[in-house]
Amino acid sequence: LLDQVERWKTLVHRNVLPVYGTALNFGPLPSLVCPWVDGGSLTHYLRLNSDLSPAKRHEIVSSISFPYYHLTMHSKEIIHGELNGGNVLMDTSGNAYLADFGFLPIVLEFRTALYLSTAIGSSVRWAAPELFEVPESANGPPLQLSSQSDIYSFGSIMLQVLSGDIPYHTIKGDNQVLYAIAQAIKPDRPQTSNMTDERWEFIQRCWSSRRENKRPSATDVSIFLVSHVWHVATSTRIGSTLQHYDYVHSTTHEEPTQDNHDVWNLDDM
**pLDDT grade for 137, boundaries at 50, 70 and 90:** low
Walk me through the domains of the chain, giving residue ranges and CATH numbers. Answer: 38-268 (1.10.510.10)
Non-local (6+) Cβ contacts of 213 within 8 A are none
Question: For residues 155 and 163, is the Cβ–Cβ distance under 8 A?
Answer: no
Please give the full DSSP string across 57-98, using - where no structure is assigned: HHHHHHHHHHHHHHHHHTT-----S--STTTEEE-TT--EEE
Sorting pLDDT into bands at 50, 70 and 90, what band is 132? confident
- Among 73-87, 213-227, 244-258, top mean pLDDT goes to 213-227
- pLDDT value for 19: 83
Question: What is residue 26's predicted lDDT score, i.e. its pLDDT?
Answer: 80
% of residues, the chain, pLDDT over 70: 68
Per-residue pLDDT at 249:
40
Q: Compare 103 and 264 and report the one with higher pLDDT.
A: 103
Residue 121's pLDDT is what?
62
Residue 75, number of CB atoms within 10 A of its CB? 6
Residue 62 CB burial class (10 angstroms; 0-12, 13-18, ≥19): buried
Residue 73 has pLDDT above 70, yes or no: no
| pLDDT category of residue 39 using cuts at 50, 70 and 90 | very high
Output the average pLDDT for the chain: 77
CB 103 within 8 A of CB 81: yes
Q: Name the more confident of 79 and 113.
A: 79
Radius of gyration of the chain (CA): 20
Q: Report the predicted TM-score, pTM, of the whole model to 2 decimal places.
A: 0.77
